[in-house]
Amino acid sequence: MALSKLSGDEQGIILGQLRNTLEPRLAMNFSSASSELRPLLTPAVRQQLRDDHEVATALCVKMGMSSCKELREAGNVLRRDKGLSAGDLATLSTLGSVLPALRWLTLFELSGSAGPDGVQRLAEGWVAGALPAVTHLYLGCMHVGEAGASALAAALDRGALPRLKALCLTGAAIGDAALVALAPALRRRPALERLGLIGNPFGDEGLAALVAPPPPAGAPPLPTGGLKKLRVLDLDCTQFSDAGCAALAAALDSGALPALQTLKLSDIPASAAAIDAVREALARSRAVAIASAERAAIAESAAPESEAAAPTGVSGSS
């Protein structure tokens, strides 16, 4: 369809899709070749593209990259102690829709340069479909807290990181209220396979919200939600006690975590007996999962034989 047949709003949408902070020439070149789009790329819009590109370029340099192209084409970004500020993370968040190749994003900031709201600002800028190929997100020693956890939950629920399989939030100041805020969004991600919450101060309430959320007051028990594919759960150096262990063991025995294989529980306040009870529940859960897989395999192998033996028609006379 010719651009001239589109409405002004539709042409504006096309131009918006062409606007790429990491590659501003795309919009400029295309609009220069199109008489319909050229008027939409006003001097003010051109200047905004240049300004945004300069900010993105400065961020790429700060992250140790040679150019915006390097970031745009990167499949794995791992940056440690680059002094990223909350403003830098806000800029990075706006690039989530123009990083189609990125699969792993790992950021560690021991210096505290991101401040108390850096992760919040990072998550708030992730629109629906942002970081479309990212499967692994690791944030280390960066304050998340309740506000950051709520922002991350909102980003996940509006469709950011649609392929996320592994999330690790290490030393992120995630207490009970923060995990209560984040847990429902995690449970709505059935493809999640790895979850690391190492070194966070949440206790029994936060853990229960993650693995065994209570039904709403007065409502009948809800069917078990997500985490069906969770294989690795790292809870080292957290603060839950025997009550949290009991909730975790009950979740395992109920089949709420059927794929769980690795569970890390080092350096937590719970008693050795409570931790042992969780490990025993995990062993029972694994035995059930293995037996179920074996039965499924037997049924699948028997199905073709049954189909081959079944009669293809009925003959005879009355």
Which residue is listed with tokens 């794995």? Answer: 76
CB 139 within 8 A of CB 167: no
Taking residues 231-248, report their average pLDDT: 98
Is pLDDT of 223 > 60? no
Q: What is the pLDDT of residue 307?
A: 61
- Give the per-residue pLDDT at 202: 98
Per-residue pLDDT reduced to its tens digit, 152-199: 999 999 999 999 999 999 999 999 999 999 999 999 998 999 999 999
Burial of 197 (0-12, 13-18, 19+ CB in 10 A): buried
Nearest in space to 103 (alpha carbons), one of 144, 51, 161, 58: 161
Phi (first) and psi of residue 226, to 5 degrees: -75, -150
The 8-class DSSP code of residue 216 comes to P
pLDDT for residue 313 is more than 90: no
Q: Which pLDDT belongs to residue 200?
A: 98
pLDDT band at 21 (very low <50, low <70, confident <90, very high): low
pLDDT tens digits for 77-102?
999 999 999 999 999 999 998 899 99
Spatial separation of the C-alpha atoms in residues 162 and 149, rounded to whole Å: 17
For residues 6 and 2, which has the higher predicted lDDT (pLDDT)?
2
- The mean-pLDDT minimum among 9-13, 58-62, 184-188, 256-260 falls in 9-13
pLDDT of 255 > 80? The answer is: yes
Helix (H, G, I), strand (E, B) or coil at 257: coil
H-run or E-run covering 45: helix 43-62
pLDDT tens for 110-153 read: 999 999 999 999 999 999 999 999 999 999 999 999 999 999 99
Q: Is the pLDDT of residue 267 over 60?
A: yes
Residue type for position 227: L
Residue 9 has pLDDT above 70, yes or no: no
Q: What is the structure's pLDDT at 7?
A: 41
Per-residue pLDDT, 74: 94
From CA 237, how far away is CA 170, in angstroms rounded?
10
Number of C-beta neighbours around residue 29 at 10 A: 12
- Which range among 20-29, 59-68, 193-202 shows the weakest confidence by mean pLDDT? 20-29
Q: Choose among 198, 205, 204, 168: nearest CA to 186.
A: 168
Domains of the chain and CATH, by start: 19-26+35-130+150-159 (no CATH), 174-212+225-302 (3.80.10.10)
Give residue 204's Cα distance to chain centre: 23
- 39 residue type, one letter: P
Q: Is the pLDDT assigned to residue 215 strictly greater than 70? A: no
Q: pLDDT band for position 201 (50/70/90)?
A: very high
- Residue in the structure block whose two tokens are 């939600």: 225
Model confidence at 296, pLDDT cuts 50, 70, 90, reads: confident
- The two tokens of residue 187 are 């449970």
Tell me the residue type at 47. Q
Please give the structure tokens belonging to residue 203: 């206790």
- Which contiguous run of DSSP H or E holds residue 32? helix 25-32
CA 29 to mean position of chain CA atoms: 35
